Structure 1
Amino acid sequence: MTEPQIGILMLGIFILFIFFGFPIAFTLMALGIAFGYFAYWEPGRMWRDYDRAVEAGAEGWDVWIAWLDGFLNNRVFDLFVNQTYSVMSNEVLTAVPLFLFMGYIVERANIVDRLFSTLYIAARRLPGAMAVAALITCALFATATGIVGAVVTLMGLLAFPAMLKARYDTSFASGVICAGGTLGIMIPPSILLIVYAAASGTSIVRLYAGALLPGFLLAGLYLVYIIVRSILQPEKAPKPTDEEVGDVPTGKLVLMIIGSFVPLAVLILAVLGSILFGLATPTEAASAGALGGLALAVGYRALTWDRLREAVYLTMKTTAMVCWLFVGSWVFSSVFSYLGGEHVITNFVTGLDMSPVMFLILAQLIIFLLGWPLEWSEIIIIFVPIFLPLLPHFGIDPLFFGILVALNLQTSFLTPPMAMSAYYLKGIAPPHVQLTQIFRGCMPYLAMVIICMVILYNFEGIVFWLPGVIYG
């Protein structure tokens, strides 16, 4: 068996272990070290060290310690240490725990219930007003936190029962919460884009600028769908009665918006604007965002020691997961490339003589399928780098590819049978709500994601216009 074939065997074993449910980060490290030991093996080294020890007059255990030293003296261990240090000192990844901390603190600031109530009153004359308010709240909250599970769970406890009480169709209400909760991985400041930037070497500020318009486009498509369907099928989202709407004076509504919507919007715009216009690095902006999140929690009198401790614990837990995934992925990919597995895949794909559009469709289809068993972090860190060396051959900009991947990964949270957003919602929904009803509600939003991807395929300027205007 040649070394490239061993590399492909290594990839096949890893995919098999994924389906067996092994921990992915540690599986990557174990396979990388095991196959790397073979790749960097120097035949006879341990016996040479053994002979040198004997010649030097060593006896007993000293001789076998020299043999063991020769056995362990393999370059794969140096690779593992160096890659671990590289990940832990990566300046781009430093922003991850800071953005996570900001999100967890904002989640505990008791701002979402006020925001949802305010937006519902402001949009009360629109068709599907409560669904519109829920989606906008999800989008803002998801943008601030970037944590899908937190957004879907919190909005499922707050907005979902309110929509059911307002006689909304169960599937319709479920789809709004599940789809809105995933927008945070697309709209900057997105943790997914930070991880992609670290994996691909793409500028994070250009990624943020490029993702802004596609993110708003997707959220706009969701809103259009909600309003149009509420008009065509009013029984799905009944209009509130005059007693339910109430009469809120304009002055009071303005004060409610200032108290709930403005602080969170200012925090998001300040963080994002400072990054886009070069006033701060992503790490510096994330630090300011974390401080701003603490200020919001204090302002809303929601900062307690238990909440702070829980936010710190969750931040450390999630950051450790991402960093160890990076360590395992980089060790695995380094050994895989050294064995020649990367060249096998590259030669195979380039030999298919595909057009750039066909390659993009194939890549996005594979990522779509990977979204069923895997989380977005695992797909970005492990599998997306397999496609990156192929981009120059097809003349595809890594920035454009990254935006498409981020858009595509919305589907991994919405597609049965492993739609995590649906499971998050089911976990806190009333007992009579069935999982099939939630799945049915997610389906139209999958269509919106596909429509958005088709629009980007045909109008790439949506991605490149803002980075070009800001950075030239």
Structure 2
Amino acid sequence: MIIGLVSLGVVVTLVFGLFLSADQITPGHYGLLMLALIVVAIMLGFPTAFTLMGLGIIFGFIAFQLQTPDRPFLQNPIFDLMVQRTYGVMTNDVLIAVPLFVFMGYIVERANIVDRLFHSVQLAMRHVPASLAVATIVTCAVFATATGIIGAVVTLMGLLALRPMLRAGYDVKLAAGSITAGGCLGILIPPSILLILYGATAGVSVVRLYAGAFFPGLMLAGLYVLYVMARALINPQLAPKLPEQAHVSTGQVLKMLTTSFLPLALLILGVLGSIIFGLATPTEAAALGALGGIILAVAYRQLTWERLKESVFLTARTSAMVCWLFVGSAIFSAAFALLGGQEIVERWVLSLDLTPTQFLILSQIIIFLLGWPLEWTEIIVIFMPIFIPLLQHFNIDPLFFGLLVALNLQTAFLSPPVAMAAFYLKGVAPAHVTLNQIFAGMMPFMAIQILAMVLLYLWPPIGLWLPSVIYR
């Protein structure tokens, strides 16, 4: 990897030198080169966290040497900065919530609670147009509030819902779009890991972000449901009605919902309610959720040593990825600022003489386009530190900006060519379901996400009302 990074740096530097003479190159140009290199390296498949760290150390070393050329090699402050930033991430109280929420999600996933939930919700929705697709989105929304792990939700719902929908005669694109779009709701709906990372990056209270994301998340899920129902009403062949299940009484459905939906709902309300109403910090609530997930698994007699061990292993792997991303982004951002890259970007944006509305539109378009080649984690840790310092100049609330970003970054999972949700679904889909069909099915839901962003921009109280009422 190091040899590849050095080779890539040499090539880009040579190209860079074709356009600027030696006396025209400033430290700020090195910062822009650094930003270009990280995007190219990630697109080439280099590990994001260690690429950030590697480029941050190399360019940080250059930045300090440009300031004091006579400094001995081993006395370069970039080495101390790396240690300090790594320790800072390890002691960040906000990030402690990440492994606990992730563990809760994996435990709930492996306890087969979602299987029961989907079956009972599907029976409850049996008289609704496109009942299987609606049940899929509703289950995804509930499961997202219990996990926030996009890959797990899309994969599990692909296993549970895709084949039943196809057997019932559902259009492949509608079925695939419902699963991938519903599975990505965990990006926005609390306890979203994205909101935790954004809060830690932007210095915004995660508690306020969770409260602000509550109604936009419900709005987006509601728009998804309305869309699939409307498609089924306009063209019933896309989602044929299921045979009447007369043998299932209302009492039986209520009993199934009580045993599947109610325990998970109580866990979710306990976790999110304690956060939003200030009864516990996100970290304390995450610990409560992890314990609640274990209790649920025990109650359903699904907790085995192998499942517990697997959940711990997956939690450790995911948490390590997130923490190393933060270490890498901290070093990268520091080097970028030392080289003056942030200053160049700010001067360029301010020179455009944009209004706050124009800045919001421009920034969201850039984030939307970045979602094609990059994942949301990379966008948060690399590009948010560039946008956030500009918010004060345009008098934009970082909380409101974060909600727009969370809505926007769902496209990172639904927009080709990356579209990780499509690849998660393809991995568990029947062989005749193609990636092109999945991509085509996701496109209308991407349009709905853009509509949701427009609605949030036109009526900010959708996201800001609840935080303003609770945290006056």
TM-score range, shorter chain: over 0.9
Q: Is the 8 A contact 2:154 2:425 kept in 1?
A: yes
Aligned to 2:296: 296
1:206 aligns with 208
Per the TM alignment, residue 13 of structure 1 is displaced from its structure 2 partner at its CA by 2.1
Partner of 1:263: 263
**Contact kept? 2:373, 2:417, Cα under 8 Å:** no
Q: In the alignment, does 2:170 pair up with 1:178?
A: no
**Aligned pair 1:18/2:20, yes or no?**
no
Q: What is the distance in 2 between the residues matched to 1:165 and 1:35?
A: 56
The residue correspondences of 1:66-81 to structure 2 (distance < 5 A) are 71-81=73-83
Per-residue CA deviation, residues 34-55 of structure 1 (Å, 9 max, x unaligned), is 1211222333344xxxxxxxxx
| In structure 2, C-alpha distance between the alignment counterparts of 1:197 and 1:283, rounded to whole Å | 13
**Partners of 1:251 and 1:10 in 2: how far apart?**
63
8 Å CA contact 2:190–2:210 kept in 1: the answer is yes
Q: Tell me the residue number matched to 1:391.
A: 391
Q: Across the two proteins, how many residue pairs are aligned to each other? A: 446
Deviation at 1:14, TM superposition (A): 2.0
Give the whole-Å Cα distance in 2 for the aligned partners of 1:466 and 1:345: 34
Is contact 2:297-2:303 (8 Å) kept? yes
Q: State the AA in 2 paired with 1:33.
A: I
Structure 1 residues 56-455: aligned runs within 5 Å: 71-242=73-244, 245-455=245-455
The amino acid across from 1:461 in the alignment is P
3-state SS, counterpart of residue 238 of structure 2: coil
Question: Counterparts of 2:228 and 2:123 in 1: how far apart (Å)?
Answer: 17
Counterpart of 1:223, as a letter, is V
1:43 to 59, 69, 87: 69
CA root-mean-square deviation:
1.1
Q: CA deviation at 1:16?
A: 2.4
Of 372-381 and 261-270, the range deviating more from structure 2: 372-381
Check conservation: 2:43, 2:374, Cα contact below 8 A: no
Q: Secondary structure at the match of 1:132?
A: helix
Q: Which moved more, 1:227-236 or 1:20-29?
A: 20-29
Tell me the equivalent position of 1:456: 456
Percent of aligned pairs with the same residue?
A: 62
Structure 2 distance, partners of 1:94, 1:293, is 17
Using structure 2 for the length normalisation, give the TM-score: 0.93
Deviation at 1:267, TM superposition (A): 0.7
Deviation at 1:300, TM superposition (A): 0.9
Q: Which residue of 1 aligns with 2:15?
A: none
Unaligned 5+ runs, structure 1: 47-70
Per-residue CA deviations over 1:267-300 (Å, capped at 9, x if unaligned) read 1111000000110000000000000000111111
Residue identity in the other structure for 1:344: I
Normalised by the size of structure 1, how large is the TM-score?
Answer: 0.93
Following TM superposition, by how much is the alpha carbon of 1:301 offset from its aligned partner in structure 2, in angstroms?
0.9
Q: Distance in 2 between matches of 1:33 and 1:412?
A: 28
Structure showing greater Rg: 1
SS in structure 2 opposite 1:393?
coil
In the alignment, what sits opposite 2:17? none
Secondary structure (helix, strand or coil) at the match of 2:210 reads helix
My pick for the range that moved more, 372-381 or 172-181, is 372-381
Q: Distance in 1 between matches of 2:69 and 2:385?
A: 32
1:247, distance to aligned residue in structure 2 (A): 2.9
